[in-house]
Amino acid sequence: MSTTDLPTSIDDTAARLLALDYVPERALATTVFLALKLQRPLFLEGEPGTGKTEIAKTLAAMLGRPLIRLQCHEGLDLAGAAYEWNYARQMLEIRMAEGSGAQRDELARQLFSDRFLIRRALLQAIDPAQPVPPVLLIDELDRADEPFEAFLLEVLSDFQITIPEYGTVKAVQPPIVVLTSNRTREIHDAVKRRCLYHWVGFPDTKREAEILARRVPGAPQKLAAEIVAFVQKLRAIELYKLPGIAETIEWTRALMELDALVLDPETINHTLGVLLKYQDDIAKVQGSEAARLLAQLRSEAQPGR
Ligand SMILES: Nc1ncnc2c1ncn2[C@@H]1O[C@H](COP(=O)(O)OP(=O)(O)OP(=O)(O)O)[C@@H](O)[C@H]1O
Ligand SMILES: [Mg+2]
């Protein structure tokens, strides 16, 4: 894998993301540019399905770096995220050593060496043996338990991990780190302070239309414009879960499968499950509300009438 140079300006960052069909807000392009320049982790918080995970994948492709992904979940601990010792192999080694009458000190030293160390995502990302510093994605940090965040502090500020029995592992060249959160809870200040922060909100009409044009290039123009207008209106309604960009893309693909050329009330009602994933939300939109939104966007599309 050959690496590519870092972007030289905000414009360059935006253009290179765009070349990979990621349509960034100016503020995001700025934060990404700075995070790369200053070698600081990027902390992205925001609505579901708005391109947080995607930016890490895009950066890896854009810079020719491998992507190492740590998916956070409840109960995630150091052993799952950074490293653990291979107990089974250590036990085996002890048995064999007992038979051969080896020295205890020598055995203890061997048991905590490279051969028995299982490297998980965080340790892999800072492994000095890595030929190319990777992009490390720590995804959905809010799903991990709060104490887990403390493990991250050393990695985020010094790009190193101290293993008591082994020593300190430090990256020769720091990885590019992207953390994401859906904000189901607040992430600790100590983590945030080490990062550059950006809130990823829903896109405006223009940006969503551009994303759709790039992600679903075959979509009929009128259909795509109506879909974007409809989803934008939907996001202004009080719903439990608003549709993200991912849902807009899915809905477009679904409607194309149904050979739709424009929106119509019946098709909207029957495909709302692509956009909305809660029955209460669907019940609220289905029928008269969907018809009202559709009528509204049609009248706005023809201001002369
Ligand atoms: N700015 C963007 N430009 C192009 N495509 C985008 C953009 N934002 C989102 N997408 C599309 O939306 C999809 C969903 O984005 P992604 O998985 O990154 O969302 P997320 O913010 O990580 O959501 P979640 O919080 O649910 O994990 C992507 O696969 C991509 O196709
Ligand atoms: Mg994600």
Cβ–ligand 1 distance for 215 under 6 Å, the answer yes
Q: How far apart are CA 187 and CA 177, in angstroms?
A: 16
Cβ–ligand 1 distance for 17 under 6 Å, the answer no
pLDDT confidence of residue 3: 66
Instruction: Give the alpha-carbon dihedral of 185, 190, 192, 195, to 10 degrees.
Output: -150
Could you name the CATH architecture of 10-82+120-200?
Answer: 3-Layer(aba) Sandwich (3.40)
Report residue 104's pLDDT band, with 50, 70 and 90 as the boundaries. confident
Cβ–ligand 1 distance for 22 under 6 Å, the answer yes
Does pLDDT of 304 surpass 80?
A: no
pLDDT tens-digit map of 52-78: 999 999 999 999 999 999 999 999 999
244 Cα: distance to centroid of ligand 1 (angstroms) = 8
Q: Measured from the CA of 25, which atom of ligand 1 is nearest?
A: 1
Sign, Cα dihedral of 172, 188, 139, 181? negative
Does pLDDT of 140 surpass 80?
A: yes
Cβ–ligand 1 distance for 54 under 6 Å, the answer yes
Cβ atoms of residues 18 and 24 within 8 Å: yes
Cβ atoms of residues 253 and 262 within 8 Å: no
Place of tokens 């300190």: 168
Report residue 202's pLDDT band, with 50, 70 and 90 as the boundaries. very high
* 3-state class (DSSP) for residue 48: coil
pTM for the full predicted model: 0.93
pLDDT tens-digit map of 155-186: 999 999 999 999 999 999 999 999 999 999 99
Residue-range domain boundaries for the chain = 10-82+120-200, 205-296
